[in-house]
Structure 1
Amino acid sequence: MLAFNIRHALLLTSLVFATSSHAASFDCAGASSPVEKAVCADPYTSSLDEKLGALWRTTLAQVADPQALKADQRSWLKQRNQCAANSSCLRREYLMRLKALEYVAKPFSWDATWQMIPWGVSSAAEVTTKRVDATHIAFDVSASNGGNSGDMDGVATIDGAVAHFAEGNCTLKFSALNGLLDVDSDGGEGACGGGMGVYYDGRYVASDQPIAIEYDLLSLGVVRTQQEDLALRTLLKNDYQTLLQNSGSMAAGETSGDVPGGEVNEFWLRGLASSNAAILMSAPGGRVWLVLLVFDEQRKVRARYYTNVPKWKKRVPDVLLAWRERLAGDATLPLDLMP
């Protein structure tokens, strides 16, 4: 099995696969590892794998340093393989990798504005770098996660394709990879001026505008299956996007006495939990219950209750009611029972 996985990784790196009926970049008839089987089982992820294969072939011939990109691809494969059969993880890895390959062939310059490839819907970061002289760059970095943000600036020393900065407990490393910029920080949360949950680490592309990735609830891990994702799309309609934007952070909720075996998760944007939040309970068979906070026309917060279980349309499960009451405190939090 190990030999097969290594051989498969090398084949994917050079992308000498035959196109299969599943539209993956490799032959699904020979899929053996959990990752391969998961890719082939999900038509959407399979299509992402095919896109990656096509983009890789054209990009490798265009970059300034093909060997560096091949090494980076091997590192990405190791990271992707850690997802195993987790379809949410796989989708996110492919979406982020595709975005990186769109920009990697651009000529690298230390005089540029860089946008982080976001790992979620509420994270963003921008770095500007400008060469001061042959061995130094000035930088300015700002980042956000939900309602929290951070920024800092300084001068970093260039050593080959890497620039280093250290001040107090904060260290930053800026690494050039063909047309991309990797940022690594050290010193612990807040050491480099970021708010709670705000990090500068990540892969950046040269762009004046923030980078958007079309994440969905499945790629963000809000739901576990395509069935649940489809159920919420059908049920929520426009509020699907509201839930998507509010799912920056997630934590397991209390168990429900009304729905034994239901899986409960709470979602919110970091720093904005009192006005942007949701609680979702799911159960086998694609059954879902959701309370979602929204703003009305007067910009006042109210809650909307959704479920696709007919007998629960007029009744809210215990754990969802308790969550709403906890958030409301002494205030009034109106609850709308949605169709």
Structure 2
Amino acid sequence: MLAFNLRYALLLTSLVFIPVVHASSFDCASAVSKTEKTICSDSYISDLDKKLGALWRPTLAKVADPKALKADQRGWLKNRNQCAEDVPCLRREYLMRLKALEYMVKPFSWDATWQIIPWGVSSGATLQTKRIDADHISFDISAVAGANSGDMDGIATIVGTEAHYSGTGCTLKFSAFNGLLDVTQDGSDPTCGGGMGVYYGGRYVASEQSQSIDYDLLSLGVARTQQEDELLHALLKDDYQTLLQNSGSMASGDASSDIPNAQVDEFWLRGLANSNAGILMRAPEGKLWLVLLVFDDQRESRARYYTNVPEWKKRVPNALLAWHKRIADDQTLPLDLMP
């Protein structure tokens, strides 16, 4: 009986150390690269990989140029593998790839309205192209990045499956690809008529409706782990979406003198750094502190303080207080202590 109990205990101990491996489009047992191991260890990315695997062959069979799609897939895999162990990077790569594959089977036409596949929640672009004659198209493009925007129009010359536009300090290349349109921009944002951070380059799908992708805070890199994303969901409730919309840009902030080993990130919506912003501080064991700027019913700015640490519910860490004072800039900015 003692020997049996010992064997049973050893079996349970060994099970504790078996890594969690999720299903994917490839055999996780033979995963070698950092990227493959990360995919297999993350259930969400594994599901995305399975969806891509299921969509790949039917798409390949229906597109106008299968050879071009295979080359494009090799390029995408190279970009994906550069993510290595970066979970947010992998999530974005898969979500954007799935969106592209949805539209590749559509027939291509220069007479169309196009929507960019967005890399985040606060970016987007709409492009209209129209064939003028055998050698030229007209284009009209508008884009946003946070609160900044840009517009541009002109005439591009068709060369094979591409169309080229050259202006003063700004060139655009429109490349037709299996029902999609890739836009390459050479020129700075202001030179091409855009506000700061506004670029027209990217992959566009033929659609009258703007495209959205189901990004979350982990996909955008605000949350660093699945557990942290879930903690922020539970803590912020409706304001989770507010944080998602306002986290267009991020930068590391100063540490808080009253909380050892804490890390601080500041974030803002591009172009509205003083009216849509927040600061997030994290410490070991899933401890979180957050101040988020919101608009009240009168469209006045106010700050909301959240934490999942009970002893900090009624007081705000020094780093967050300093940030609030700096953002307020000697103006009245109410700070609400959230439950």
| TM-score interval for Structure 1 and Structure 2 normalised by the shorter chain | over 0.9
For 1:38 and 1:99, locate their aligned partners in 2 and report how far apart those are by CA, in whole Å: 22
Aligned to 1:129: 129
| Residue number in structure 2 paired with 1:253 | 253
Q: Secondary structure at the residue paired with 1:46?
A: helix
Q: Which residue of 2 aligns with 1:268?
A: 268
Q: CA deviation at 1:161?
A: 0.7
Q: How much has 1:285 moved relative to structure 2? A: 1.6
What's 1:3 paired with?
Answer: none
Deviations 1:274-317 (A, max 9, x none): 22111101122211110001111111111000011111111111
Amino acid at match of 1:246: N
For the residue of structure 1 that corresponds to 2:218, the secondary structure is coil
Give the aligned residue type for 2:200: Y
SS in structure 2 at match of 1:294: strand
Give yes or no for contact 1:117–1:205 (8 Å, CA) kept in 2.
yes
Instruction: Please give the secondary structure, in 2, of the residue aligned with 1:322.
Output: helix
Matched to 1:34, the amino acid is K
Letter in 2 for 1:69: L
Per the alignment, in what secondary structure is the counterpart of residue 216 of structure 2? Answer: coil
Mapped to 2, the partners of 1:187 and 1:336 lie a distance apart of 44
Structure 2 unmatched ranges of 5 or more: 1-20
SS in 1 for 2:62: coil
**CA distance, structure 1, for counterparts of residue 335 and residue 62 of structure 2:** 56
CA contact (8 A) 1:228 1:287 kept: no
Q: Does 1:214 align with 2:217?
A: no
Partner of 2:101: helix, strand, or coil? helix
Deviation at 1:23, TM superposition (A): 2.3
Per-residue CA deviations over 1:168-227 (Å, capped at 9, x if unaligned) read: 100000001111100011122311101100000100000001001000000000011111
* Equivalent position SS for 2:22: coil
Does residue 104 of structure 2 align to residue 113 of structure 1?
A: no
Uncovered stretches (5+) of structure 1, i.e. residues with no partner: 1-20
Q: Percent identity?
A: 72
Give the structure 1 partner of residue 22 of structure 2: 22
**Paired position in structure 1 for 2:291:** 291
- Residue 279 (structure 1) aligns with: 279
> What RMSD, in angstroms, separates the aligned Cα atoms of the two structures?
0.9
Q: Deviations over 1:97-133 (max 9, x none)?
A: 0000000110000000000000001000011000011
Q: Is the 8 A contact 1:63 1:178 kept in 2?
A: yes
- In structure 2, the residue matched to 1:62 is 62
Task: Map 1:54-203; keep pairs closer than 5 Å.
Answer: 54-203=54-203
TM-score, normalisation: structure 2: 0.93
The residue aligned with 1:8 is: none
* Distance in 2 (alpha carbons) for counterparts of 1:306 and 1:274: 20
Deviation at 1:261, TM superposition (A): 2.1
Look up the match of 1:5. Answer: none
**SS at the partner of 2:215?**
coil
Determine the C-alpha separation between the residues in 1 that align with 2:118 and 2:198: 12
CA distance in 2, matches of 1:58, 1:332: 58
Kept after mapping to 2: 8 A contact 1:150/1:195: yes
Per-residue deviation, residues 127-181 of structure 1 (Å, max 9, x unmatched):
1000011010000011001111000100000101111000110000000111110
Matched, 1:325 2:325: yes
Partner of 1:229: 229
Mean Cα deviation higher: 248-257 or 229-238: 248-257
SS at match of 1:67: helix
CA distance in 2, matches of 1:274, 1:308: 26
TM-score normalized with structure 1 length? 0.93
Amino acid at match of 1:100: A
Q: Which whole-Å CA distance do the structure 1 matches of 2:210 and 2:189 have between them?
A: 23
What is the CA–CA distance in structure 2 between the aligned matches of 1:335 and 1:66, rounded to whole Å? 57
Amino acid in the other structure paired with 1:181: L
Distance 1:33 1:285 in 2: 29
C-alpha distance in 2 between matches for 1:259 and 1:121: 32
